[in-house]
Structure 1
Amino acid sequence: MNLIMNESTRWNLNSLYPEQMELTLSTELDELEVTLDQLLQSMRQLSPNSNAIQSEELSLLSQLIRRIEKADSYYYCLSAETPRHSIITSLHSRVSKLKAGIRSLWSDLGRKLALMEDEPFADWSSLPAIRPFRSDLSTLRKKSQPFPSDLEDFATNLVGDGLKSLEHMYIQLRDKLKIDIEDGMNETKISFGEAHRMALSDPDPDRRKQVFQSLTQSLEQESDLFASVLNQITGFRLALCHAHERRDVLDESLELNGLSRITLDTMWETIDSLLPKLTHFLQLKASEYGQEKISWHQLKTPSHVSTQIPFSDAMERIIQTSNQLDPAIGDFMHKAVMHEWIDAVPHKNKPLGGFCAPFIHDGESRISLNYDGSVESGRILAHELGHAWHYRQLEDPTSLILLEDRFSMTIAETSSIFFQLTFIDDMILHSKDKEEKKLLLSWKIQDSLTYVMGIRAAYLFETRLYEKRSTGPLSASQLEELFIEAQKEAYRDHLSQYQPFEWIKAIQFYRPYVSFYNYPYTFGYLFSLGLLAIAKKDGKQFAQKFSHFLSETGKKSVEELALQHFHIDLSHPDFWHQSIQRIVKDIEEYIHLSTK
């Protein structure tokens, strides 16, 4: 298989909306708005008679959702590529209103379905023309809220407009930050994104430290503004949680992720039970620095992994490891790069890390990242391609629910992290140089600890944030103290200094539709470690099981799917124990390489 590119690639967005994109997209949105308005009017005129809801209207709703999702993903890509494009603001506003309209339509439909008795609903939904939509109709019926229509619409608009506006306020505040750094004999100002990257990945350790300190000082100076935004977001979410009579904000997140509290608690408790074996690595790293304890910044910026991997080599490795699972997966990865789905050229306007935007009903995705030749950028590339493979399994022409409202992050992060782990393990396996292998292994272990400790801290912080916010707003100093205490608990107080102002740096806390944007990563990492062991045992049969598992995202709980496809009981500590033991084995291998 020949890859023709030697350098990082650029994506092709024109193929999504060809020929005079602005005019084509404007016409598309005009049509979507008219169609949605007609559906809303039709739905509100319906009686609770089951025969009044026609299969043609359900098909039209499904088609409408697919087209709205495409426009939404396109907006996300366009805003990352050219944030000042003339149509960005209009596109965002119109797509947001369309999605709010879809949710309003669900409210009407759900209430009418809830008025139907069980037997008539069962008979009607079993009709050949209605049966393809039965699962989603049952979901809408079950989730129907006992609110008056106007109150439900108010709640929908609150989420759609209020929280989204607050997220934009956060982004604007963050993007206006200018961090002072020394550039030779002069001082210069750089953006938040540039400072964050330099503080963690600049090859010069002194420069990393200097930028890290400058970034911390800038965030501290503006912390009151960010605290105000975060307080408003958490206040809104608590109000909605109370209105929907939920136990707490975590309930909605668990429901969307198809996970029970029992399984989540079991995962955290098992990590806690094995923390002494994991913190042993922190002690090792501290001794290498000649210190009693290592700082968070030292842990996140270990001895620089000098290994460089050109974009073409990284893609070759990802394709080869995918072929070992299933040639169909390797072909898909090859298609992603050859059909110009990937924008890997570094650019300062790009979001931190990377992202994968789905165009599910075109059978495509678009991936954005700053590929700089480092092992970390190779990891991100493999991670985002894992998301693309997941999206490829999800096409459902009968879905009546927006992907973001049925999308399980627990499964999404399992797919992406599974492919990143195969990439990393392959690099370690084929490394010929002992010192390079040791550095790569250290880097992998540090990444593992981020998933089981760093993300645990974010989860603990968010849990306690909602508890304390229920009695009133928190000051910036209180938020900072809350996060530092969460980090101390997650790392068992084995660090000398912790990550300052993470509650500002992480956009996840400001997302409008997703709370607890953290534990799914820990779940996905540990679940992927377990699946890698199964893949080695099952060989070629594993790929088919994995694809079926991914394709059923949102249709069953992740616990049901794990049991059905892999015979794994996620509510039992044994599985989590075995996964964490694989991290322990990496630590033991690191010790072995260090003492050779």
Structure 2
Amino acid sequence: MAMESLPEWTLNDAYIDIESDKFQCEIKKILEIIGMLKIATSQGSLQSSLENLFQIYEEGFDKVSSLLAFCRCQSSIDVNDQRVSGVHIRLQELLSSMEQLMKPAFNSLVLLSDDDIRWQSSSLRHWKCVAQQKKEHWSSSLSEQQQEALSLVANNNFYILNTHYAHINKLLNLDVVNNSGDVRKVNLSACLGILKGSPDETLRKSVFEGMNDFYSQHSALYADVLNQLAGFRLAQFELTGCDYITPTLQQNRISQAALNTMFSCLEQRVKEIRKSVSLRASYLGVKKLKVYDLSAPAPLQTVKHISYEETIAQLCYALGQLSPEIPDFIQMMLNNKWLEASIKNNKAGGAFYTRFNELKQPRVFTTYLGSSAHQIQQAHELGHAWHYWIMRELPSIETEFPMTLAEISSTFNEAVFRDYLLHQSKGRDVTGAVLWQEIKSVANFLLHIPVRYDFEMQFMSRRKERSLSESEINHLMDNAWYKWFGDSTEGTDRYLWASKMHFYKTDQYIYNYPYTVGYLISQGLLVEREKLGDKFFKHYRALLMDTGRLSVDDLVKKHLGYDICSPTFWNQCIDRAMSHVFAFEEHFKNCQR
């Protein structure tokens, strides 16, 4: 079979390369902006109006954030590009310098009364919600000297920990075998792709066991990095007398009561939710699902490679039912070469969306392998990109939506696409395959993500006292796994804490639970779509436009009319998710007749 032509993105219409004249010119401009801020804030007093200062800062922020995103893009295309990490750290330092220089300006902003006429200025009005957040921020009690010291330590010792993690991952290079007995070498990116979408059980098992052997041999290195990451954060929190949950709640703009209520609803219904795993085991004729089969594609029909062209056509048709605006956007992404889906040896694993604020350009990074799981991945990342695209003309600070709200558009795209496939399906096997995808999502968002959340919370609790050994970390992961999956799986994914890069991010903290928040809200939106019909899209678009301004609590209250500190909303969303599980159960019964 001829190799499929897959879209490759271009970076030439952005900054070309980190050594290009265009990229280096942008760094010089950032240095000039820092110089302007130094003069304007010299001698501890503001020598410029707040309006002017924030205009300067926004220009610098857009440039630095864009160059940081560009570094991520370049390193993802070639993980062996040794140049990027140093430039990335340098940009983090420049961003930190700007933020330090702006502290007096932010302090002045926080002191403005709500009726101050300056809030009516086009340069400041969008900073009002930021000022309120800074008033309440967990770090607000730190002195200027403490903040400067922590920033220095972070620049020199903290941000680089994510790079250390990436370097360890490069050591993973496994010999794996497929069901034909063929042996080949695979890196981490290929391993993750196989576990996510390969129909070959022998290959999935070989990859999973090989990865576990690797992590067992190198677990001390991963434990060192994880302990250092948590240790730095806990030291920060201790200086302010802050607990370790408040910073992530503020970062994700959700209340403690709302998060507790969501997890309480899930825990009360966990036995019901585990059906999303046990039903698949029963279909396969086993008592428990093997851990490496949790993301396996449906064994319900003849597995075929789904061409990228077919995937895009289906996505455009499905999402076009919401509005023609979305398929037009997808086509623009392809025409502009802003979408990467090619298969290359040196590419990073996983998938992501990012954007260049200065240029108003989104980018989507994936590796497309032709499975239904990879179709869903395209829907997910394009949901993120479209969310930014409709907000791109807003000031960048109003497009900095938190993870909890960022995951709404992506998971809603997934849900709409699966719903389309289900209604378009012809024949028992196709229907079962689509429902298989649905209940995989239920297990991932309502069991797997809670495992990660519980693990991280328990790890932080114990890390307050001392560093943990790799065996102690394994024990925490086992406990979290059994709490949520019970005996529905054969064993646990013990080294999930080492393989999941989310635990090693330096820009996000307790990264995982926002996926569950976003997924459940997207299920609630499906209910709204059924209620509103043709009026839904306008309603949905307005909700997304508010994601940079409102908290999760306020957004759901304003646009959906629910108090998310009450179980009613979350249970309605869980009901919608579980409807797929019940549909699969009924389908399974019919297959046995």
Establish whether TM, by shorter chain, passes 0.5: yes
Name the residue aligned to 2:72: 76
CA contact (8 A) 1:307 1:375 kept: no
Name the residue aligned to 2:405: 411
Name the residue aligned to 1:35: 33
Q: Give the unaligned 5+ runs of structure 2.
A: none
Identity of aligned residues (%): 25
> Does 126-135 or 314-323 show the bigger shift?
126-135
Name the residue aligned to 2:504: 510
Instruction: Provide, for residues 347-398 of structure 1, a one-character-per-residue CA deviation record: whole Å limited to 9, x for no partner.
Output: 2332322111112453321111111111111111110000001111333654
* CA pair 595-96 structure 1, distance change in 2 beyond 3 A: same
CA contact (8 A) 1:62 1:397 kept: no
Name the residue aligned to 1:165: 160
Name the residue aligned to 1:382: 379
Name the residue aligned to 1:45: 43
Which of 583, 587, 593 is 2:577 aligned to? Answer: 583
Does residue 1:313 correspond to 2:310, yes or no? yes
CA contact (8 A) 1:106 1:140 kept: no
Does residue 1:273 correspond to 2:268, yes or no? yes
Q: Give the unaligned 5+ runs of structure 1.
A: 1-5
* CA pair 158-268 structure 1, distance change in 2 beyond 3 A: same
What code does the residue aligned with 1:240 have? Q
CA contact (8 A) 1:181 1:188 kept: yes
User: Residue 241 of structure 1: CA displacement?
Assistant: 1.3
Which of 521, 525, 534 is 2:519 aligned to? Answer: 525
In 2, Cα distance between the equivalents of 1:177 and 1:18?
Answer: 30
Name the residue aligned to 1:492: 486
* CA pair 215-135 structure 1, distance change in 2 beyond 3 A: closer
* CA pair 127-192 structure 1, distance change in 2 beyond 3 A: closer
CA contact (8 A) 1:10 1:345 kept: yes
Output aligned runs, 1:244-393, within 5 Å.
Answer: 244-246=240-242, 248-301=243-296, 303-304=298-299, 306-393=303-390
Name the residue aligned to 1:3: none
What code does the residue aligned with 1:234 have? A
In 2, Cα distance between the equivalents of 1:266 and 1:176?
Answer: 41
User: Residue 255 of structure 1: CA displacement?
Assistant: 0.9
Which of 561, 574, 584 is 1:567 aligned to? Answer: 561
What code does the residue aligned with 1:231 have? N
In 1, Cα distance between the equivalents of 2:325 and 2:286?
Answer: 49
CA contact (8 A) 1:259 1:558 kept: yes
* CA pair 130-452 structure 1, distance change in 2 beyond 3 A: closer
User: Residue 477 of structure 1: CA displacement?
Assistant: 0.6
* CA pair 106-307 structure 1, distance change in 2 beyond 3 A: farther
What code does the residue aligned with 1:237 have? R
Name the residue aligned to 2:467: 473
Which of 178, 191, 205 is 2:173 aligned to? Answer: 178
> Does 192-201 or 568-577 show the bigger shift?
192-201
* CA pair 377-421 structure 1, distance change in 2 beyond 3 A: same
CA contact (8 A) 2:353 2:385 kept: yes
Equivalenced residue count is 584
User: Residue 250 of structure 1: CA displacement?
Assistant: 1.9
Output aligned runs, 1:5-154, within 5 Å.
Answer: 7-17=5-15, 22-47=20-45, 52-85=48-81, 87-113=83-109, 116=111, 118=113, 122-126=116-120, 130-131=124-125, 133-140=127-134, 143=137, 145-154=140-149
Which of 144, 151, 155 is 1:156 aligned to? Answer: 151
User: Residue 132 of structure 1: CA displacement?
Assistant: 5.0
CA contact (8 A) 1:258 1:557 kept: yes
In 1, Cα distance between the equivalents of 2:373 and 2:173?
Answer: 25
What code does the residue aligned with 1:12 have? T
CA contact (8 A) 1:238 1:470 kept: yes
In 2, Cα distance between the equivalents of 1:165 and 1:212?
Answer: 28
Instruction: Provide, for residues 480-536 of structure 1, a one-character-per-residue CA deviation record: whole Å limited to 9, x for no partner.
Output: 110011010011333231112000000111111211111111111111011012123
* CA pair 325-73 structure 1, distance change in 2 beyond 3 A: same
Does residue 1:432 correspond to 2:426, yes or no? yes
* CA pair 161-562 structure 1, distance change in 2 beyond 3 A: farther
User: Residue 75 of structure 1: CA displacement?
Assistant: 1.4
CA contact (8 A) 2:198 2:204 kept: yes
User: Residue 420 of structure 1: CA displacement?
Assistant: 1.3
> Does 583-592 or 335-344 show the bigger shift?
583-592
In 2, Cα distance between the equivalents of 1:196 and 1:20?
Answer: 28
What code does the residue aligned with 1:351 have? A
In 2, Cα distance between the equivalents of 1:106 and 1:448?
Answer: 44
In 2, Cα distance between the equivalents of 1:185 and 1:264?
Answer: 47
* CA pair 97-396 structure 1, distance change in 2 beyond 3 A: farther
CA contact (8 A) 1:529 1:582 kept: yes
What code does the residue aligned with 2:342 have? V
* CA pair 212-136 structure 1, distance change in 2 beyond 3 A: closer
Instruction: Provide, for residues 227-270 of structure 1, a one-character-per-residue CA deviation record: whole Å limited to 9, x for no partner.
Output: 11111111111111112332x22211111211011111111111
- CA RMSD in angstroms comes to 2.7
User: Residue 99 of structure 1: CA displacement?
Assistant: 1.4
In 2, Cα distance between the equivalents of 1:176 and 1:140?
Answer: 41
CA contact (8 A) 1:110 1:141 kept: no
What code does the residue aligned with 1:344 have? A
CA contact (8 A) 2:34 2:97 kept: yes
* CA pair 163-214 structure 1, distance change in 2 beyond 3 A: same
In 1, Cα distance between the equivalents of 2:204 and 2:176?
Answer: 11
SS of residue paired to 2:465? coil
What code does the residue aligned with 1:255 have? Q
Which of 456, 459, 463 is 2:457 aligned to? Answer: 463
What code does the residue aligned with 1:36 have? I
* CA pair 534-319 structure 1, distance change in 2 beyond 3 A: same
SS of residue paired to 1:67? helix
Name the residue aligned to 1:225: 221
CA contact (8 A) 2:382 2:410 kept: yes
What code does the residue aligned with 2:245 have? L
Name the residue aligned to 1:191: 187
User: Residue 156 of structure 1: CA displacement?
Assistant: 2.2
> Does 289-298 or 219-228 show the bigger shift?
289-298
What code does the residue aligned with 2:23 have? L
SS of residue paired to 2:12? coil
What code does the residue aligned with 1:509 have? F
User: Residue 124 of structure 1: CA displacement?
Assistant: 4.4
What code does the residue aligned with 2:542 have? H
